[in-house]
């Protein structure tokens, strides 16, 4: 198991979140690919998006339903500053996750996390587990709690 996948497993265990990490054998980098591999609706995929604060360079994690688009103004209001998308190298350097494997949990350094309320509409959601082909499923409220996320209206 890769180091980033192991961090996700350990973070779930530490948070009391019972998960089974599945290596799909094919890419789950996009919400559409993940939904196909997981056999679920695109809405049930949790997108983990990293943005950077324009004021201080802090990074923020936003969790959205796979078919949703982040409303940047709403995200900035939640974060308390204007935001820009973090470049892939910065994401990897600061989170330990590569784009396509960014997980909602498993960060070595605390990251402010915000989750869109729409995620709570589902009985089960699927999230990246630290690698381009690794996923896990969870009850959404349990995932939000394990991630330490604040609920907000974030989607366009």
Q: pLDDT (tens digit, 9 = 90+) per residue, 52-93? A: 999 999 999 999 999 999 999 999 999 999 999 999 999 999
Distance of alpha carbon 122 from alpha carbon 24, whole angstroms: 22
- The total domain count for the chain is 1
pTM for this predicted structure: 0.95
The three-state secondary structure class of 4 is helix
Residue partners of 14: CB distance under 8 A and separation at least 6? none
Q: What is the pLDDT of residue 99?
A: 87
Count Cα neighbours of 131 within 13 Å in the Cβ-side half-sphere: 16
Q: What is the pLDDT of residue 1?
A: 54
- Parts of the chain with a pLDDT under 70: 1
CB 43 within 8 A of CB 154: no
Domain containing 77: what range? 3-152
Q: What is the pLDDT of residue 127?
A: 97
φ, ψ (nearest 5 deg) of residue 153: -90, 110
Output the six-digit token pair for 29: 């980098």
Distance of alpha carbon 128 from alpha carbon 132, whole angstroms: 8
CATH number reported for the structural domain that contains residue 84 in this entry: 3.90.960.10
Question: How many C-beta neighbours within 10 Å does residue 123 have?
Answer: 7
Q: What is the pLDDT of residue 28?
A: 85
């Amino acid at each position: 198991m890769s180091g980033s996948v192991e961090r996700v497993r350990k973070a779930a265990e530490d948070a009391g979140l019972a998960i089974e990490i599945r290596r799909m054998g094919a890419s789950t980098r996009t919400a559409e690919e993940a939904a196909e591999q997981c056999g679920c609706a695109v809405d049930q995929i949790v997108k983990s998006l990293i943005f950077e604060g324009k004021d201080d360079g802090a990074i923020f994690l936003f969790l959205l339903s796979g078919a949703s688009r982040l409303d940047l103004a709403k995200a900035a209001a939640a974060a308390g500053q204007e935001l820009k998308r973090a470049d892939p190298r910065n994401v990897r350097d600061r989170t330990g996750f590569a784009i396509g494997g960014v997980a909602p949990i498993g960060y070595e350094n605390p990251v402010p996390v915000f989750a869109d309320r729409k995620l709570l509409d589902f009985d089960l959601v699927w999230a990246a587990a630290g690698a381009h082909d690794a996923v896990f499923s969870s009850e959404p409220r349990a995932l939000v709690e394990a991630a330490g996320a604040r609920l907000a209206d974030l989607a366009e």
